[in-house]
């Protein structure tokens, strides 16, 4: 019974997708499910029932289903509202996927730098992580600048060789 509600909701959402004014209906559904989740959360807390998501997962009860549906609709609303942001993220992910090996290998340098550089000083673990993060950002910026300069040098050398051949 619990999972059949998920299938029914998925079927309804898929039907809604092909209608006009899809986002308006999704936003309305999102508001309804968030209000339902708040009401269920209050009811569970008043009656003393556990609101832990993992405990309510199997078998799925109304609390878990409304939570999952509201989170799904919130994410759906966010991703449909931010297409320009997603295009910017695409270049970010492309850069990291193209350079993931070098970023991974060079990050060890910053970890060693922070560990050795601050070994004589007692520092908080959060400060250490922050220093490693900042060091990785500086290193990543250096890698980007180096790559751009190498591309520029390659383009200049190609144009010189083409001009010499003519």
- What burial class does residue 136 get, using C-beta atoms within 10 Å of its C-beta: 0-12 exposed, 13-18 middle, 19+ buried? middle
Task: Give mean pLDDT, residues 62-91.
Answer: 77
Return the higher-pLDDT residue of 7 and 141. Answer: 141
Predicted model pTM? 0.42
Provide mean pLDDT across the span 33-57: 85
Per the CB < 8 A criterion, the answer to whether 67 and 53 are in contact is yes
Q: Can you tell me the distance from the alpha carbon of 101 to that of 61, in angstroms, rounded to the nearest whole number?
A: 44
Kindly tell me if the per-residue pLDDT of 17 is higher than 70.
no
Whether the upstream peptide bond of residue 140 has omega within 30° of 0, thus cis, is no
Cα–Cα distance, 166 to 163 (Å, whole number): 5
Mean pLDDT lowest for which of 3-17, 58-72, 133-147? 3-17
Does the pLDDT at position 39 exceed 70? yes
């Amino acid at each position: 019974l619990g999972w059949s509600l998920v299938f029914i909701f998925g079927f309804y959402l898929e039907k809604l997708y092909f209608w006009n004014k899809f986002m308006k209906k999704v936003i309305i559904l999102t508001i309804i499910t968030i209000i339902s989740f708040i009401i269920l959360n209050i009811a569970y807390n008043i009656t003393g029932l556990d609101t832990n998501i993992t405990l309510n997962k199997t078998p799925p009860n109304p609390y878990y289903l409304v939570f999952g549906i509201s989170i799904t609709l919130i994410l759906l609303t966010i991703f449909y509202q931010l297409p320009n942001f997603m295009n910017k993220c695409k270049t970010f992910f492309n850069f990291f996927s193209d350079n993931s090996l070098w970023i991974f290998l060079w990050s060890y340098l910053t970890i060693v730098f922070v560990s050795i550089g601050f070994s004589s000083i007692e520092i908080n673990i959060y400060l250490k992580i922050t220093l490693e993060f900042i060091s990785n950002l500086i290193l990543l910026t250096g890698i980007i600048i180096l790559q751009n300069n190498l591309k520029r040098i390659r383009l200049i050398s190609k144009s010189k060789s083409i001009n010499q051949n003519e």
